[in-house]
Amino acid sequence: MSAVDQVTAALDRIKRLDPQLKCILRTQDAAAPIKSGDGLLQGVPIAIKDNICTHDGITTCGSKMLANYRSPYDAHVVERLRAAGAVIVAKTNCDEFAMGSSTEHSAFFPTRNPWNPECVPGGTSGGSAAAVAARLVPYALGSDTGGSVRQPAALCGVCGLKPTYGRVSRYGLVAHASSLDQIGPIATDVRGIARMLQVIAGHDPRDSTSAHEPVPDYLAALDQSTGKLCIGVPREYFGDGLDPEIRRAVEAAIETYKSLGATIREVSLPHSKYTIACYYIISTAEASSNLARFDGVRYGHRTANPRDYIDVYSSSRAEGFGPEVKRRIMLGTYALSSGYYDAYYSKALKVRTLIKRDFNEAFSQCDILLSPTSPTPAFKIGEKSDDPLAMYLADIYTTSISLAGIPAISIPCGLTASRLPIGLQLMATHFGEVRLLQAAHQYQSATAFHTATPPVCAE
Ligand code: GLN
């Protein structure tokens, strides 16, 4: 297809299917004329999570606070995509400031799962994952702080990668928790993930945590032999709370790897039980500090008739932020406050080091780790919205990877009896994306789970 045809087809599909799915906040069809060229993504329509800045149109972060915010610049990843010929056709729905696991915390509307519209698509990059699952666009970008690319990818039956911390520049990604945030691609197969990563990875001086590590040829690596893989299975990831259908599907994936010649070894990540507590102290502490910039003065929502200057801050923030964001700011401010800093924040940093060491130890025994991505398949809209703790537990298998800063991918590995997708999570050591993508591609070469399409695609 020509570039113009591809983009027109994506926009037509969005117009036809998105009214029932609500993945898209805005289409950007008025964008610059499509140029010809030979970029790696020439003419490819791409959807971008709405917490990643694009200079055309607005960037809301799923929040009323930024409902009219126009970024004066493109995020680094958006510059890279445009330079590779991609066309940004849409901005996708997400939980407000990327806080949540279901996309229900969007200030605008919830997104629906293309496999079952009564269910959530996961979150926070739920709009991006659902858009790729419904084949509205071939590729999308999300951001992953504690699982927000991998968990929605799992719940929507597509692939999603969280790259190594520092692999992709965060310049132009609205900050949630800066030591954890990383932008990642979503696609239907691993080749698509490799293609997107190829374009967005690499050093950027505007993000001081962006790595100088050279960018390998991820696409070429897919067709090279992985050698003999040793896969570690962390026993703590198969405990209580894991849905039995998910357990069976992940165990079947282990059998598939065995039949492909991999060695399987049980390993232990003994500090896993502290992951959720540690993540929700560190991420809320960082979020409370990052979100202090929304003060009603410089940009974002400003209250209409403030009584005095204190009221500018308090009413603007009270009106602009939704309940989950307020909860995080309060939790984070508490953990950082005098008297509690040592008991919570500084202790959580020590636990983070122990969690990192668990991974170092595990990777001294194997090349790749394998687990479920999410303990349950997609849940019903509304099911967890009144129970923040239940929502936080959706991240039980994804947050430790974020604390360690290592890369992980979620790929489809089956469907439940009620035809909801199941995700398999593979993890690698720092900058081990080549091995990770090769292992994931090897699985997809031997199985067809990633080719299944949701019912909405038949319409
Ligand atoms: N669900 C996690 C949270 O709410 C992860 C969010 C994310 O990765 N952006 O913090």
Judge if the beta carbon of residue 395 lies within 6 A of ligand 1. yes
pTM: 0.98
The pLDDT value recorded for residue 31 is 53
Judge if the beta carbon of residue 142 lies within 6 A of ligand 1. no
Q: What's the pLDDT band for 111 if we cut at 50, 70, 90?
A: very high
Burial 202-234 (b: 16+ CB within 10 A, else e): bebeebeebbeeebeebeebbeeebeebebbbb
Residue 170 has pLDDT above 70, yes or no: yes
Judge if the beta carbon of residue 102 lies within 6 A of ligand 1. no
Q: How far apart are CA 278 and CA 284, in angstroms?
A: 10
| Per-residue pLDDT reduced to its tens digit, 312-341 | 999 999 999 999 999 999 999 999 999 999
Judge if the beta carbon of residue 447 lies within 6 A of ligand 1. no
Residue 225 has pLDDT above 90, yes or no: no
Alpha helices in 378-455 (DSSP H): 388-392, 399-404, 433-446
Structural domains for the chain: 3-225+407-458 (3.90.1300.10)
Judge if the beta carbon of residue 391 lies within 6 A of ligand 1. no
The pLDDT value recorded for residue 226 is 81
Percent of the chain predicted with pLDDT > 90: 94
Q: What's the pLDDT band for 29 if we cut at 50, 70, 90?
A: low
Q: Strand 263-267 and strand 230-234: pairing?
A: parallel
Answer left, alpha or beta for residue 370, where phi above 0 means left and psi between -120 and 50 means alpha.
Answer: beta
Average pLDDT over residues 168-196: 98
The pLDDT value recorded for residue 359 is 98
State both tokens at 387.
């129970």
| C-alpha of residue 156 to centroid of ligand 1, in Å | 17
- The rounded mean pLDDT for the chain is 96
The vertex-292 CA angle with 288 and 295, nearest 5°, equals: 145
The kind and range of the H/E element at 285 are: helix 275-290
| C-alpha of residue 107 to centroid of ligand 1, in Å | 16
Neighbours of 318 (CB within 10 A): 11
State both tokens at 1.
């297809």
Q: How far apart are CA 154 and CA 156, in angstroms?
A: 6
Residue 34 has pLDDT above 80, yes or no: no
Judge if the beta carbon of residue 181 lies within 6 A of ligand 1. no
Residue 30 has pLDDT above 70, yes or no: no
Q: Atom 2 (ligand 1): residue with closest C-alpha?
A: 146
Average pLDDT over residues 68-81: 97
Average pLDDT over residues 372-395: 94
